Structure 1
Amino acid sequence: MPGMDDDATPITRTEAQGAVTELGWRLLLGELVTVVPLDSLAEGAGLLAAVTAELGAGGDAHLRADLRPDRLRLALQHRASGRVTAADLALALRVTGVLDRPMTPVGDHRTDPVQELEIAVDALDVAAVRPFWAAVLGMVPQPGDDDALVDPAGRLPAVWFQQMDAERPQRNRIHLDITVPHDVAEQRVAAALAAGGTLLSADAARAFWVLADAEGNEVCVCTWQDRDRPGQISPAG
């Protein structure tokens, strides 16, 4: 019988975040993410070795790690499907037990390391422009979402394509989406407005807020919230 860590049952965003909030994990772009503060690379290497030993070879299908001298970033996702599953919740619990220390999923908006950046391309014919962006950026389709592109090495921001119904010549056609933990989103929006930004739309909040700089260049501040509702539109999340 498959163990809990083999359970690939997809779960809703609400279920995922609710299960790991108190453990110090946050849901960002279909991943469970946490960051462990470090004093050195050696300390981080030791923690990562302990985590990978706990998860075994099966962890390779779920865990990604980014080790820096001051932090260890861990992300869990069922990589084949590009979604968080019941197995990932079980793995988050196991990883948290191994780390046995406070994690920092949220923090000051200027230094918070738990966030994800995407590039959004508006297009009238997504199928016509997507191959160009895949070729010029060296990207591949995102698992579970052929309309988005990802860096195979996991270093560059993802690129996704927003379907347009008509030309918008007075509006920029490429914008950024910054996805942050749900419990810092309003702080991030407020900071951007205080720095000279303009709120263009909060109609889709809490899923995303549309902001612009002083010259009209747009960015969306995104979270996982309210995306389990039928018909919820992008920006992606």
Structure 2
Amino acid sequence: MERILSRREASEAVQDHGWRYVLGTLQTSVPVRTLAQAICVAADAVTVCGDDADRHLRVDVRPHLAVFTLQSSEHAAVTDRDAELARLISATAGKSGFLPDPGLGAGAPRSVQLLEIAIDALDIAGIRPFWKAVLGYADEAGGGGPEDPLVDPVGQGPAFWFQQMDQARPQRNRIHVDISVPHDEAARRIEAALAAGGRLVSATRAPAFWVLADPEGNEACVTTWQGRDPQDVS
């Protein structure tokens, strides 16, 4: 039986194999030179995952890289089987001369990441059905309650989640972007945002997340897995 891993367990299980734990998934990329190579690397990964490929593995294939994501579709979380598959994929890619790299390859502008759109709401149960319908989204596996995110059923768009408000805040944007990055990427991303004219609104919940704002006050959060459980505070 698969065991769901804690955030720290998931991160430590794969970080030496070129993967990172990001927003409930394991992610890496394999830089390549051609689309044909990317397809071959993806095919090798599917083969080594065997019957578990359909339940755990997602691949985004591009002419310059293949991005791999592992998560148990049954649990909507990372399990010990996902960690095992990550190590197998890395070993198989390495034998073919390709190295998994969560930085998306030398000189890449960013690391692997996942995006979420957060909507502040007074009545989450009242607005969630609208967003589910207008986006054509679905409930996350095992979800469906007001606090659960909505996800793209074909895996192309970012997840939407709803943040409970106690009172209306008309002078503050009600929708913001969460950029979930590897824990060792957050500092560089924040420094870049500040250098580009942003400001730090709050770091009280760091390293779980930092709240940043653009020069007009529109907010975005840079988030990591750290600091979300007592034992994960570093």
TM-score (norm 2): 0.92
Name 1:99's counterpart in structure 2: 93
Aligned with 1:32 (options 26, 35, 41): 26
Secondary structure at the aligned position of 1:56 is classed as helix
Secondary structure at the aligned position of 1:227 is classed as coil
Task: Decide whether the 8 Å contact of 2:29 with 2:103 is kept in 1.
Answer: no
Aligned with 1:129 (options 105, 127, 130): 127
The 5 A counterparts of 1:11-160 are: 11-100=5-94, 101-106=98-103, 111-146=109-144, 147-160=148-161
CA separation in 2, counterparts of 1:168 and 1:109? 41
Secondary structure at the aligned position of 2:116 is classed as strand
Task: Decide whether the 8 Å contact of 2:204 with 2:210 is kept in 1.
Answer: yes
CA separation in 2, counterparts of 1:145 and 1:178? 22
**Post-superposition offset of 1:106:** 2.5
CA separation in 2, counterparts of 1:169 and 1:42? 51
- Which runs of no fewer than 5 residues in structure 1 stay unpaired? 1-6, 233-237
Aligned residue identity for 2:217: G
Q: Deviations over 1:151-195 (max 9, x none)?
A: 111111110000111111111110111111110101111110111
How many percent identity over aligned positions? 50
- Which runs of no fewer than 5 residues in structure 2 stay unpaired? none
Alignment partner of 1:205 is 2:206: yes
Aligned residue identity for 1:214: P
Secondary structure at the aligned position of 2:58 is classed as strand
Name 1:221's counterpart in structure 2: 222
**Post-superposition offset of 1:206:** 0.3
**Post-superposition offset of 1:110:** 6.6
Q: How many residues align?
A: 225
Aligned residue identity for 2:43: A
TM-score (norm 1): 0.90
Task: Decide whether the 8 Å contact of 2:117 with 2:175 is kept in 1.
Answer: yes
**Post-superposition offset of 1:144:** 3.8
**Post-superposition offset of 1:124:** 0.8
**Post-superposition offset of 1:226:** 1.3
User: Would you identify which runs of 4 or more consecutive aligned residues in structure 1 move more than 6 Å?
Assistant: 107-110
**Post-superposition offset of 1:145:** 4.0
Name 1:4's counterpart in structure 2: none
**Post-superposition offset of 1:221:** 0.4
**Post-superposition offset of 1:9:** 0.8
Aligned residue identity for 2:125: A
CA separation in 2, counterparts of 1:140 and 1:104? 31
CA separation in 1, counterparts of 2:138 and 2:192? 34
**Post-superposition offset of 1:228:** 2.4
Aligned residue identity for 2:141: P
Root-mean-square deviation over aligned CA pairs? 1.7
Secondary structure at the aligned position of 1:209 is classed as strand
CA separation in 1, counterparts of 2:20 and 2:93? 16
Task: Decide whether the 8 Å contact of 1:201 with 1:210 is kept in 2.
Answer: yes
Task: Decide whether the 8 Å contact of 2:111 with 2:181 is kept in 1.
Answer: no
CA separation in 2, counterparts of 1:220 and 1:49? 35
CA separation in 2, counterparts of 1:229 and 1:139? 33
Secondary structure at the aligned position of 2:149 is classed as strand
Alignment partner of 1:176 is 2:177: yes
Question: Per the alignment, do residues 57 and 84 of structure 1 end up closer, same or farther by CA in structure 2, a change over 3 Å counting?
Answer: same
